[in-house]
Amino acid sequence: MDEEKIRSVFENERIGKEITCPQAFAISEKYGIEKMDISRYCNQNNVKIRGCQLGCFK
C-alpha cells in the first residue's frame, strides 16, 4: 500500500474523516488504487467508510 499516494489523493479529493463507498470505488478506478488498500488506509487513519455497497470495506 502506498500510504503517501492515498493521503495525497484524499487531500486532492477533499476526503477528511469520512468517505462513501461510491467515492472509494471512484478513487480506486480513477487513481488505480486497490480497493483493499483504500480500506486499509481508512482503517489505519480512522476514516469512516459509509454506505458500503458490497461489503468490500471493513
Number of other CB atoms surrounding residue 2 within 10 Å: 12
Between CA 18 and CA 20 the distance in angstroms is: 7
Cell 488506509 found at: 41
Per residue in 7-45, pLDDT tens?
Answer: 999 999 999 999 999 999 999 999 999 999 999 999 999
Number of other CB atoms surrounding residue 39 within 10 Å: 19
Domain coordinates in residue numbering, the chain: 3-50
**49 grid coordinates:** 467508510
**Torsion of Cα atoms, 27 then 38 then 20 then 44, to 10°:** -150
Question: pLDDT value at position 10?
Answer: 97
Question: pLDDT value at position 1?
Answer: 84
